[in-house]
Structure 1
Amino acid sequence: MVLEIKQEPKLTQQLLLTPQLQLAIKLLQLNRLELENAIREELNQNPLLEEEPKEEEVLWESLSGWGKGGSRKKDPFEEGKPWEEEVRGKLGLREHLLWQLRMSFLDEEGMRIGDFLIGNLDEDGYLRISVEEASEVLGVSVEKVKEVLEVIQTFDPPGIGARDLKECLLIQLRQKEGIEPLFIRIVEEGFEEILKGNLNILSSRFNVSKEKLQELLKLLKTLETKPGREFFEVSTLYVIPDLIIYKKDDNYEVILNDEGLPRLRINREYLRQFQDKEDHSLKSYLKQKLKEAQWFLRGLEQRQKTLEKIGKSIVKFQRDFLEKGIQYLKPLVLKDVALDTGLHESTVSRAIAGKYALTPQGLFELKFFFSSKVGDGLVEMSSRQVKKLIEDLIAQENPSSPLSDQEIAKILKHNYGLSIARRTVTKYREALGIPSSKERRREL
């Protein structure tokens, strides 16, 4: 048998990404901080790009109607404080708590009180206004303020909303599992002696051994004395929003946050200086650099148009959320935005990855606005809403008789009209890191 080798032409289809397209995709995937670094790197390596002179303008003057109800809130940008620091610091803690507040299903008055109390927390997470003062300012009963404060004190980070160190430690102790009731009683009634280290007095007063008291002291040392600390550490990574969504009159506007980014243009003067030179290698070099500069500028423009399209589409689908909060977040998938904008799903996916939007409801990752649809009846919710409902039901259950997944599914159907299968409850419960009812059961 003779093997014969010969060549035959064959037609195949192959997708080749041009350098321009590769660059456009790369720029689209970058978040705000990465984009700034990429722009400065391109400025340094391409002599045909230059930074436009900065104009004397204040971005935030145009944001009339910021916040709910169309009234513009006084903000840190007007105080001369670097706004990146505000996003990293106070906004980080405040928005983290407001997120939980809007998930708590308080009534409208409760939400207003909660917003006020959160706004009166200091950097360490302590409430620096009395419930009586809050009651007087808000025109509500002291009991109502206390009720909302108790809700806030269940939020993360543990110990938040305490009025003093003693309350801060007690909040954390009560949230821990397996804590002896005696330990809580000692902190409640003997905190001054704990601070003074009077173990003899405590031992006699509570009829407890010094070894047991040492165990309590060791436990207290593991608790956080400044719950807000993690949001104000210098090492905390801060986020700069890529999009800003604000209310103007009855509509929501979407703008790309390019504040602080170098504005680029072609360096025509540099090009003129060398275009008449006879050096062919230099001409070839400049021609290539001009092409790369034009690609880069087009890539930036395309990135801006794509993000603005997606931002406007999110506003279109999630307007109720922007107006009223987390309870009104609608199910939304990539395909919905892709169809609405005319973009490919993969483009939408690349564009939202790692990017954030500053909205009247707070600072959110763009992925936050996308969640699957849950429910096969007349009522449908986003998966985020359902997870929160499950989490709340379990938090309120009787520890000695915890709810099974089937019981949770029945409650969701009866109380919220939401039809979901037991296995869906199980999936969401496990995603939340919550043990099964058997594992949660404990004797009181």
Structure 2
Amino acid sequence: MKQSLQLRLGQQITMTPQLQQAIRLLQLSTLDLQLEIQQALESNIMLEEVADENDYDDSEDYPTAESEPDKDFNLDSSVNEVDMDEPNANSADAEVADISEEMTLDNLTHIPDELAVDSNWEEIYDGTLSQYEYSNNSEDNGRDILATTQGTAAETLQDHLRWQLQLTPFSDLDRAIATAIIDAIDGDGYLRISIEEITQSLGENVQVDAEEVEAVLHRIQHFDPIGVGSRDLKECLLRQLEESAVATPWLKEAKILVNKHLELLGNHDYTQLSKRLKLTREQLREVIDLIQSLNPRPGAQLEPSQATYIVPDVFVKKASGQWKVELNPEIAPKLRINSHYASLITRVESSNESNSLKNHLQEARWFIKSLKSRHETLLKVAKCIVKRQMGFLEYGEEAMKPLVLHDIASELEMHESTISRVTTQKYLHTPRGIFELKYFFSSHVSTNSGGECSSTAIRALIKKLIAAENRARPLSDSKIANLLSERGINVARRTVAKYREAMVIPPSNERKRLA
């Protein structure tokens, strides 16, 4: 085969380190972004956080609602990128030279010994420190100061049951059995394992029969909360009914219903319940109200709940009749180049140290520029979404318009993958609540008039129809589809069922209630 040289001309996009960093920052959530910024501050001496807002020029590093993105740094740019695996030393030298012209060593090192203040410590805190002085009393010895200042941990269900176990007289063997039972109780207060498994968990050296384990379990079921340690819903409800006052109205009928006809109650078959219990509709309603007053998950009230807090990335509010969109200034600290360390590049004698400082300077500028690009892109996408979903902001979910990623990508001349990254785990604070940006995207359904209706709006209509239905005769999925068709929205019955299940709304037979 004959070898030859050929010259070809083509275009390609090179994923430079700067572009890779910008894409990675773009898809981070607020919490992950704060961790990334903290790691950058710890690893790069050229970066510093601006503590004083007066010393920070917001127009230089971060976008505002009126600013435009940097034209030479676009995540969706189709032009050729320069390979930036190695920092540009000439660019760094020029930047350092500009910095050096604006500062001298005297300006950097001259710090007054005492700063001018308008008050002294004694004028404000005179005589008040004594109440915070450390006491070395014997009662404080061995106390965990962190536990005192941070507060005690939330009490779990097992902690609450063990505390009652300590106050209850048990033999050593019964106490071991009770401990094994308490450890096997789940967060809802139910014992999900069998008596045989509890017996096996005690070990081969402990000789105990199932009757003794059952007796200890019966004592634990009378611990607070009542019904804890039950093995199913029937047992849980019966334990609570047994602890009710004898004079409680309809107590006997409620015990019979729970013990023998709980399945009929779950199926809302009130006709059969009335026949089996020989009660009128009004009397059956009283019995059911008594059962519904019980707690089917007795342990849930003691389980510590972990609240998840969402920090919105963008705020939207109405001012002077116009919807204004602005970034949350608290989502990320403001960063800048440390001028002192930047000025050292031209003064260090070692070439290795100089190159290291130049690399840090270039990486710091890349990082700040990537953050700026992230905020600009997020702001542009949020403004575009708000412009298209003003009906939702004004009137609610029923006015939501169909919207897909392609619509925003076409308007902003970006790729759909970029829009997907921007809208994932990013939240918009509106007068109607906090929503993820992806919430505003939904498919469409055709209407009789030739228009389109958002699936989110259809869900809102279904929820509204179910909320207004007759509880004695709830609407079926077919009936809901017919009602939507009368409003010009063509939705199949299976589509209604899919939307209803997505909203965790039970079917019509489970929504049925006594009139």
Counterpart check, 1:202 vs 2:273? no
2:411 counterpart residue number = 340
2:333 counterpart residue number = 262
Query: Which structure has the greater CA radius of gyration?
Result: 2
Q: Which has the higher helix share?
A: 1
**One of 30, 33, 53 as aligned partner of 1:32:** 30
- In the TM superposition, residue 315 of structure 1 has moved relative to its aligned partner by 1.5
Amino acid at match of 1:198: A
**One of 19, 22, 25 as aligned partner of 2:17:** 19
1:358–1:401 distance in 2 versus 1, CA, 3 Å = closer
- Partner Cα distance (2:470, 2:46) in 1: 70
1:385 counterpart residue number = 457
- Partner Cα distance (1:297, 1:356) in 2: 22
- Partner Cα distance (1:245, 1:413) in 2: 34
Amino acid at match of 1:48: M
- In the TM superposition, residue 385 of structure 1 has moved relative to its aligned partner by 1.9
Q: Is the 8 A contact 1:399 1:440 kept in 2?
A: no
**Cα deviations across residues 271-295 of structure 1 (Å, max 9, x unaligned)?**
2124322211111211211111111
Q: Is the 8 A contact 2:316 2:325 kept in 1?
A: yes
- Partner Cα distance (1:244, 1:51) in 2: 23
- Partner Cα distance (2:379, 2:46) in 1: 28
Once the two structures are superposed, the pairs formed by residues 51-66 of structure 1 within 5 Å of their partners are: 51-55=49-53
2:157 counterpart residue number = none
- In the TM superposition, residue 361 of structure 1 has moved relative to its aligned partner by 1.6
1:427–1:55 distance in 2 versus 1, CA, 3 Å = same
Amino acid at match of 1:389: L
Q: Is the 8 A contact 1:377 1:419 kept in 2?
A: yes
Once the two structures are superposed, the pairs formed by residues 37-436 of structure 1 within 5 Å of their partners are: 37-55=35-53, 197-199=244-246, 201-202=247-248, 207-208=252-253, 220-222=294-296, 235-259=306-330, 261-378=332-449, 380-394=452-466, 405-414=477-486, 416-432=487-503
Q: Is the 8 A contact 1:243 1:257 kept in 2?
A: yes
- Partner Cα distance (1:47, 1:383) in 2: 50
- In the TM superposition, residue 195 of structure 1 has moved relative to its aligned partner by 12
1:385–1:211 distance in 2 versus 1, CA, 3 Å = same
- Partner Cα distance (2:7, 2:345) in 1: 47
1:419–1:234 distance in 2 versus 1, CA, 3 Å = closer
Secondary structure class of the residue paired with 2:333: coil
Q: Is the 8 A contact 2:398 2:456 kept in 1?
A: no
Percent identity, aligned pairs only, is 41
Give the aligned CA root-mean-square deviation in angstroms.
4.1
Amino acid at match of 1:202: T
Q: Give structure 1 stretches of 5+ with no counterpart.
A: 58-177, 184-192
- In the TM superposition, residue 54 of structure 1 has moved relative to its aligned partner by 2.3
Q: Is the 8 A contact 1:405 1:425 kept in 2?
A: yes
1:226–1:235 distance in 2 versus 1, CA, 3 Å = closer
1:211–1:54 distance in 2 versus 1, CA, 3 Å = farther
